[in-house]
Amino acid sequence: MTDAKAACDWLCNPSAEVSAHYLISRHGDIMQFVAEEKRAWHAGAGKWGAISDINSHSIGIELDNDGFSPFSEPLMAALETLLPEIAGRWGIASKGVIGHSDMAPGRKIDPGARFDWRRLAQQGLAIWPKSQQVASVDEGRFVADLTAFGVTADVDLDVRLAAFRSRFRPGATGPLASADMALASDLAARFPVDACEANV
């Protein structure tokens, strides 16, 4: 959307058939539309681990961004205030904080490559893989590692790779590389999906 007001208007339009629990504007305003214990319609079709009804197992936070620009400092600061509050109320581990592109790669691209996942991870609000020894390229192993991490949507390798890179290797291009393999291996080893009880 062009701005938070347009997003708010869309989220409040019954014909849109979409909703979210929260919307954070680029100015840092936090707006709540749906009570946390109620189901919102922000995710749609997708899958994370064994969960295919993401809307019934998540709290949706929409962020005011055009998909190409850096996320504003007031927005990030507001998110860093809201996330631990939600996580504390619902017992959500940092592993359970995911983006729409994690659960519906290809169909959804948000929050996109400009979102600072590493910043959240440094505060314990998300996860970030550790650098490992470079691994040999093996497409089957890469898919298996991402599946263990939770990326279980039935999509082609190139779609899965693009979503993975958008979050963990923004700016990376080309075919599957050893750097992708190393990061995926670490995610699978340290953050298996069965450790995730809920997601945001």
Which residue is catalytic, options 36, 37, 62, 85? 62
DSSP string, 109-150: --S-TTS-HHHHHHTTSS--PPP-S-----HHHHHHHHHHHT
Distance CA 148, CA 70 (A): 30
Residue 168 contacts residue 117 (beta carbons within 8 Å): yes
End-to-end CA distance of the chain: give it in Å, rounded. 21
Distance CA 105, CA 103 (A): 6
Whether 62 is a known active-site residue: answer yes
Residues making up the chain, counted from first to last: 200
Which positions are annotated as active-site residues? 62
